[in-house]
Amino acid sequence: MSSTVKTDTGRNDSPAAGQAAARTGRAVRAVRTAGGLSVRLDVRTLVVCVLLTAVALFASVLLIGTGDFPMGPGDVLATLTGSGTAAQEFIVNDLRLPRVLVGLLVGAAFGVAGAVFQAVSRNPLGSPDVLGFSQGSTAGALLVLVFFQGGTFAVAAGSVVGGLVTGLAIFLLAWKGGIHGYRFVLVGIGAAAMLYAIVLYLMTKANIVEATQAVTWMTGTLSGRDWDQVWPLAIVCALLIPLSLLYGRPLRMLEMGDDAAYALGVPVTRVRVVLLAAAVLLVAAATAAAGPIAFLALTAPQLARRLTRSPGPNLLPAALMGAALLVTADWLSQQIFGADQLPVGVLTGLLGGGYLLWLLASERKAGRI
């Protein structure tokens, strides 16, 4: 099938995006096939996505080779392609590869969820950490762990149920003829404070063994992840991340405001409900697999947008940024502190907290807060 490529400057999927492109002078390529299909392609965004994918894969290879039995990148690649020794295949395929895959999937899930929450709330501080969804998943997991002494699967199920119940409660409390950004954020902040108090109460009811397990999980860690965590999370991501990407264009229009979105024919309520439901499920599944990784959902979309310099939620770059950040942070924590000596959530919390302070200072300097 033949196709033609046209280069447009200052054109994109929405008027606001087009105006932003015109101001920055960026080129947007429109690829049209003979069948009438038209795909608009931002070259800078494509380059950023390719680079982030390369960083995530490179960090994954380094992470697989890190541990008590170190392996070079060449040995890791040879083992992944079936050319390693029996010992190397056991170490890579059974012990380390699941950890890396969980890291990639969790990072992508938090990245997409954070981008959706920030776009819906039209607030750069909108993220599962701030809005209470991570705390809801944590409370659900601790409830199962403390009162029912649940195993790994039961704790994961409790995390998912807690996240869903929290999401439904916040959605209903924030609903008043629709979901609006500031009300959604305020209700989420209040829910986060209440759920954090519940988490502290549950910690007081735990014995020393349960408390140790709970604190490690609450910090956020990829240690000990296996294929039992990979497959459920992979299924959730395979279903919900493409669904979120399909709603990327109407989500971009929602950022212009409800009136403009309605005028452009966007079913505002349906788009919000679908995307918020997908984001809540992604957060719940990711939290069940690795714990509430601090600040990842906040920073990944922001950094992705700054790299692409593109208007809109940047869902795919946010997913790739989240994956690259998490596996890189896990590799750094092992390099600096030794294998599994520092949960990756501690490092993301330190870096993300610094980024949050910088973001608040920037917003204040710009007069937006």
Query: Of 27, 24, 23, whose CA–CA distance to 9 is shortest?
Result: 27
Please give the full DSSP string across 117-134, using - where no structure is assigned: HHHHHT-TT-SHHHHTHH
Banded pLDDT at 37 (limits 50, 70, 90):
low
Q: Which helix (H) or strand (E) holds 90?
A: none
pLDDT at 91 over 80: yes
DSSP string, 153-207: HHHHHHHHHHHHHHHHHHHHHHBSSSB-HHHHHHHHHHHHHHHHHHHHHHHHHS-
Residue 272 and residue 244 in contact, taking contact as beta carbons nearer than 8 Å: no
pLDDT value for 142: 87
Question: What are the sequence ranges of the domains in the chain?
Answer: 44-358
Reported as type and span, the H/E element at residue 343 is none
Q: What pLDDT score does 100 carry? A: 95
Cβ contact 139:195 at 8 Å: yes
d(Cα 130, Cα 118) in Å, to the nearest integer? 11
Angstrom CA distances, 167 to 56, 72, 174, stand at: 30, 44, 10
**pLDDT for the residue 24:** 47
Burial of 112 (0-12, 13-18, 19+ CB in 10 A): buried
- Using only C-alpha atoms, the chain has a radius of gyration, in whole angstroms, of 21
> What's the residue count for the chain?
369
- pLDDT value for 264: 77
Answer yes or no: are the C-beta atoms of 324 and 56 closer than 8 Å: yes
**With contact defined as beta carbons under 8 Å apart, do 56 and 327 qualify?**
yes
pLDDT exceeds cutoff 50 at 357: yes
> Distance between CA 116 and CA 254 in Å, rounded?
11
CA 308 to chain centre: 17
Average pLDDT value over all residues in the chain: 82
Inter-residue contact 292 to 217 (CB < 8 Å): no
The predicted model gives 231-237 an average pLDDT of 93
What share of the chain has pLDDT > 70, as a percent?
86
Confidence category of residue 368, pLDDT binned at 50, 70, 90: low
User: Which has more pLDDT, 3 or 257?
Assistant: 257
* 331-353 tens-digit pLDDT: 998 888 877 678 888 888 888 88
As a whole number, mean pLDDT of residues 264-271 equals: 80
State how far the Cα of 207 lies from the Cα of 116, in Å rounded to an integer: 38
d(CA 302, CA 309): 10
* Confidence bin at 35 (pLDDT 50/70/90): low
* H-only helix segments in 206-295: 208-219, 227-246, 248-254, 258-263, 268-290
| Prediction pTM value | 0.84
Would you tell me how many other CB atoms lie within 10 Å of the CB of residue 339?
A: 13
Secondary structure (3-state) at 39: strand
Mean pLDDT of the region 158-166: 87
What's the CA angle centered on 294, arms 231 and 345, to 5 degrees? 70
Using DSSP, state whether 38 is helix, strand or coil. strand
Greater confidence, 239 or 37? 239
Report pLDDT for 39. 61
The mean-pLDDT minimum among 22-36, 213-227, 245-259 falls in: 22-36
CATH class of 44-358: mainly alpha
